[in-house]
Amino acid sequence: MGEFKVHRVRFFEYMPSPIRAMAFNSRTDRLAVARGDGAVEIFNFADNYFQEKVIPGQDSRAVEALCWVGQRLFSAGLNGEITEYDLENLRPKYTVMAYGGPAWTLSMSTECFLCQVGCEDGTVKMFEILEERIQFQRNHDRQKGRIISLSWHPSGTHIAAGMMGMIRIFETETGSPANKEVVVWSVAFLSDHTVISGDSAGKVQVWDGFTGTLIKTHLITKWDVLALSDQSSLVAGTSEGTVTQFQFLPLIVGQQDKEWVRTRTFKNHSHDVRALAHTETAVVSGGMDTQLVVQPLLDRVEKNTQESALRKIAFPHRSLVCCAKKSGLLLFQFPEHLELWRLGESDGHGKPGDSLPVRKKPEKLIHLKRKGEDHICCSALSPCGGWLAYTTVSSVRLYRLQYNNNSISIKKLPKLPKELCSAHQLCFSSDSSKLFASSKHSSVIVVALGQSECKYLHTLKPKSGYGTTEQPVHLLFVSEDSKWLAAANTGCEIHIYNLNKLKLHCTVPVYSSCPTAIAIHPVTSNLVTVHANQQIFEYSLAQKEYTEWSRKLQKQGLHNLWLERDTPITHISFNPNNQAHIILHDMFMLCIIDQSLPLPDRKTLLYNQMTLRSVPESERLRHSHAFKICKNFQHLLCVSTLEDQALVVVERPLLDIMSQLPAPVRQKKFAT
Amino acid sequence: MAKDQRGKTTTSPSKKTDTEKQTEDTTMVFESSDDEAPEEVTFDASRTEALRSMKQALDTARREKELLKEKRRKRQELFQEQKKIKLLSDDVLEEMDSASSKKQKQSEAAEEQRQDEGENGKKKKKKSRKMEHSRNLKGNYRVATVKVVGALASSQQQAAEDFIQSRLYGAGSCRTTNNELLSLQNKTGRNKGAAVQFVKKDWACKQKAKAEKLKKRWIHKQHIPSC
């Protein structure tokens, strides 16, 4: 077993953006999450909560509300615009100005295909949802204050609007005797004409929608109640980070009189909860602590199964770090800029577990700000470090880097081929002579890189006629000998192209779970894929079939503890000195799979590194199995190998992220 | 006020006229003898007189104020016009100077922008492209299309974001720091630990940097005689 020098990188100051709104589509089992920087992410709840798609944000797009209408996704924001998103090309399809000032809330009625927008100027604007666009219909009467929250009655005949200090139901009038200016952050209109409101005084109030009278008040927190979601039950999210559940139950068992009773409280967040959604079995919450939490409701799932476990999704399910293998450079992707760093150096030698002295500190070479308003979608660095590229929804930019002794110069390539107008994924070939960019309909554009110019070569297209080639490509990998290119899309398809002949070689048999990481072995040219349900496959490109090892793995089945991990593998790399090694990582662990060792069966101890160390060396081989898992480094954003037998491990401890979040509420506890 | 008439009230019939005129007033006393009676100024008359003079005084005051306002306004307008004239003359001078001075200013501004952008990174990054959609017209003028940013919309957006910020994080929102929250967790958790950021990392950073430099110099000095 080889020894590695590990570059432990903690200078990637990655800060995720807080969650502002979310909407669950129960028909497709997708959750759409809007972040504070305007990015919209789609999670597939049926495929192990995999973050399928990410639409990058934009400077002025401050999303306040998200809504699904069938398969279409709409958002409204503080820039006064209503946006429909193109989920196949990962960009906004179009925007419509509401002309009412900032839009605070959005509510859709799927029966009558109408959409309501609550605006800053006090109007509730109605839009009709047509096939290719939405069209303004009319305004409701203008109110005195801004409309912060809206809710449709399920029948579509009434709307409840929460404003500053009162709730108003259109078609009838109601008011609440509030002494100070209370903000009604959210309302929910139930089918029995009950209106439930959450306000800044920390109360969840139940109103009779017909008479406008208050039925019951629940004071659940000292701070604000920011979000409500009602479906199977009612949940309220607060500034404290708690989510309180209410259920419509009779106070005494057996009696008929039902009322809204506070049942459970979950404290899964450290900061304010701004958005809530219901799925059939769980409550999903998100807020200022940037983590998405899925809390299964134990009355709907079986206890002690994987379904009933609490899930926290903190890191993105794609790589934000690009490592240039040959030159020891790292490229960090932020939403609004890129950073290029050179790794530090160390001469020392030591035993496993030692910390080596650093001779030369890592240094930041370039801080590149993106141009325009759009956020960066994807970035790439060539292995030699001479080329840098990034894409946004509207453009692709390519830069040439030159290193002279201690200085570095960067030059933008002014004219790019017109085919290279927008891409979702970028990849450089290992000799830095070609750039591959994924484009519409899962096609890949090949561009040749000259000394200071680039020329369009070819477009690689998958076979048309497949149902899901409309889905965007989210993974792209070029083999080290530049013979093969693998492209995976969110429709679970993986296409292999032969780069010498510049045509499609084959399509890997579609597996039901989406691939989360793909890589081609430099020596054996086998494609290794890991999927959202933690399955691993190895496919031989030459023979166009699964390898012997892969079949053995499938037959034996993966260990339970491996399958129960709740974060996906986001990067696969290989060991230049040992071709039997596959290096994988997720957020909490780094694993080296040794294909020459036997596979563990269900009863074997999976995390056996500690016990192996205690066994004398001659005995170790007998007890080893293929999965060597190391949990020394946390929390992992990227693990990659360099040419000189070194590992680069980019960590971003969650504690560091938490210390830079906005202020949480002050909770006075005894003896503190 | 009105002139006080000396006299007493009598009920003699010769004073019929007076008593007739003595309608509602009981406050004022006015009486004079038949012969050489001074002008009879009734209370009503004197009251109206008084009111009129009051009104007149008010009117004059108001008029004066208005006059002053007018004067001020005219003066202000005059100043504005003078200012405009001044600017205009500058403009004209500028145009008359040459197109080269204008271009120089633009290139200077572009240079400034470039310098601004080279802030964090050690070396320059990208070139700024000022005035993307601009055309030259007859050499002296340059027409540039400005992106319609919608200043009103962005200010409203800013106001809305400020509203959220003030409601959630403004006065009276009872917030604490992340450091305190994490430290409390350390204190009350299962594995009790010290406060997060127990050591102030940004303490004496200048001195630390100086010490680092001195150390490097000393190491360098030590190596020279050996190699």
**pLDDT > 70: what percent of chain A?**
96
CA distance A272 to B157: 22
Largest interatomic CA distance in chain A: 84
3-state class (DSSP) for residue A62: coil
Predicted ipTM of the assembly: 0.78
Q: What is the pLDDT of residue B225?
A: 63
CA A344 to chain centre: 30
Most confident of A255-259, A387-391, A604-608, B215-219: A387-391
Domains parsed from chain A with CATH numbers = 19-313 (2.130.10.10)
pLDDT digits (tens, 9 = 90+) for A117-143: 989 888 888 888 888 888 888 887 788
- How many angstroms separate the Cα of A586 from the Cα of each of A244, A517, A538, B116? 32, 11, 19, 39
CA distance A531 to A538: 12
CA distance B193 to A625: 37
CA distance B168 to A239: 8
Cβ distance of A666 and B168 shorter than 8 Å: no
Chain A residues inside the 8 Å CB shell of B177? 663
Contacts of residue A378, defined as CB under 8 A and 6 or more positions apart, other chains included, come to: A333, A390, A391, A423, A424, A425, A426
Cβ distance of B176 and A371 shorter than 8 Å: no
- Cβ contact B66:B60 at 8 Å: no
Bigger pLDDT: A654 vs A353: A654
Distance from CA of B96 to the nearest CA of A (A): 36
Cβ distance of B184 and A239 shorter than 8 Å: no
pLDDT digits (tens, 9 = 90+) for A279-305: 888 999 999 999 999 999 888 777 777
CA distance A256 to A584: 57
Q: What is the 3-state secondary structure (H, E, C) of A392-414?
A: CCCCEEEEEEEEECCEEEEEECC
Instruction: Tell me the mean pLDDT in the region A450-458.
Output: 86
Instruction: Choose the mutation target among A10, A182, A184, A369 for the interface with B, i.e. most B CBs under 10 Å.
Output: A369
pLDDT digits (tens, 9 = 90+) for A377-406: 999 999 998 999 999 998 899 999 998 877
Distance from CA of A411 to the nearest CA of B (A): 7
pLDDT digits (tens, 9 = 90+) for A524-540: 999 999 999 999 999 99
Instruction: Choose the mutation target among B164, B180, B182, B201 for the interface with A, i.e. most A CBs under 10 Å.
Output: B164
Closest CA to A287 of A314, A308, A263, A309: A314
C-alpha R_g of chain A: 27
- Cβ contact A283:A335 at 8 Å: no
**Given a cut of 50, is residue A162 above it in pLDDT?**
yes
Instruction: Choose the mutation target among A341, A666, A668 for the interface with B, i.e. most B CBs under 10 Å.
Output: A666
Q: What is the pLDDT of residue B168?
A: 85
Chain A residues at the B interface, defined by Cβ less than 8 Å, are 60, 62, 78-80, 101-102, 104, 120, 146, 183, 200, 222-224, 239, 270, 272, 364-369, 371, 399, 407-410, 412, 655, 658-667, 669, 672
Nearest to A663 among B126, B157, B177 (CB): B177
Tell me the count of A-B CB pairs closer than 8 A.
103
Cβ distance of A371 and B121 shorter than 8 Å: no
Closest CA to A276 of A149, A381, A362: A149
Q: Which amino acid is at A537?
A: F
Q: What is the pLDDT of residue A64?
A: 92
B 89-118: CB under 8 A from A: 117
CA A574 to chain centre: 25
Tokens of A544: 């166009």
Beta pairing partners, A44: A30, A50
CA distance B105 to A588: 56
- Give DSSP secondary structure letters for A341-396: EE--B------TTPPPPPSB--EEEEEEEPPSSBPP-EEEE-TTS-EEEEE-SS-E
Q: Which residue of A has its CA nearest to B151?
A: A79
Cβ distance of B188 and A60 shorter than 8 Å: no
Q: What is the pLDDT of residue A604?
A: 81
Nearest to B168 among A62, A272, A368 (CB): A272
Helix, strand, coil content of chain A in percent (nearest 5): 5, 45, 45
Q: What is the pLDDT of residue A166?
A: 82
Give me chain A's average pLDDT, please: 87
Closest CA to A287 of A106, A55, A35: A35
Closest CA to A43 of A671, A584, A672, A567: A567
Q: Which residue has the tokens 């572009």?
A: B110
- How many angstroms separate the Cα of A649 from the Cα of each of A323, A520, A634, A661? 10, 21, 9, 24
Weakest-pLDDT range from A439-443, A595-599, B136-140, B202-206? B136-140
Weakest-pLDDT range from A1-10, A90-99, A506-515, A522-531? A1-10
Q: What is the pLDDT of residue B112?
A: 44
Closest CA to A530 of A558, A552, A499, A507: A558
CA distance B215 to B227: 19
Q: What is the pLDDT of residue B200?
A: 66
Chain B residues inside the 8 Å CB shell of A60? 154, 157
Bigger pLDDT: A347 vs A176: A347
Bigger pLDDT: A191 vs B117: A191
Q: What is the pLDDT along chain B (227 residues), one digit of tens a residue?
A: 444 445 444 444 444 444 444 444 444 445 545 667 677 778 888 889 999 999 999 999 999 999 999 999 999 999 888 888 776 555 555 555 554 444 554 544 444 444 444 433 333 333 333 444 556 666 677 777 655 556 667 888 888 888 888 888 877 678 888 888 888 888 887 877 777 766 666 777 888 889 989 998 988 888 776 54
Q: At what angle do helices B43-97 and B99-117 cross, to 10 degrees?
A: 90
Beta pairing partners, A58: A374
Cβ distance of A223 and B197 shorter than 8 Å: no
